[in-house]
Copies of this chain bind each other. A is one copy, B any other.
């Protein structure tokens, strides 16, 4: 069984969706999946070569004009490896790194309005993310549409949570100044 790296999986999936060059894959990744999976050129291009060595993809040189351009397709082995991963029963990876939650955890050394400011800063990051998600428009395929819907839903949930906490922190402040 061929071992597939995380980035390798993304590449196979993207090629299956019809993205044929490293550049194309990067474009779509940044637009549509970076909310839950980041891809960088530093991983992408070396990984394309590795996948070709493993026989999971085949590339052909197909310049567009005088511009160098490498076009990839899945091999049968590649298609099989993608499918194996897609239906694998292994517990899926789920990782979150949230600096604001870390600060929240340690926030007993902060004044209420300082914590509120941190939550507001986080909220504005999420609001910008929401704008980007809204700018995408309805995807043609069901899979991308579903994952976009998840992204919007979760982002909204987080925005609401922050707003609620900020308000509570503000109210608590007022009450304690009144007293």
| Of the residues B9, B93, B118, contact of A92 by C-beta under 8 Å | B118
Interface of A, secondary structure class, is helix
What's the tally of chain A residues with a CB closer than 8 Å to chain B?
61
Chain B residue numbers with a CB within 8 Å of A129 are 94
Can you list 30 A-B pairs, Cβ within 8 angstroms, ordered by A?
A35-B96, A36-B96, A36-B101, A36-B102, A37-B97, A82-B106, A85-B103, A86-B103, A86-B114, A86-B118, A89-B117, A89-B121, A91-B125, A92-B100, A92-B118, A92-B121, A93-B97, A93-B98, A93-B99, A94-B97, A101-B150, A101-B151, A104-B143, A104-B147, A105-B146, A105-B147, A107-B142, A107-B143, A153-B157, A154-B158
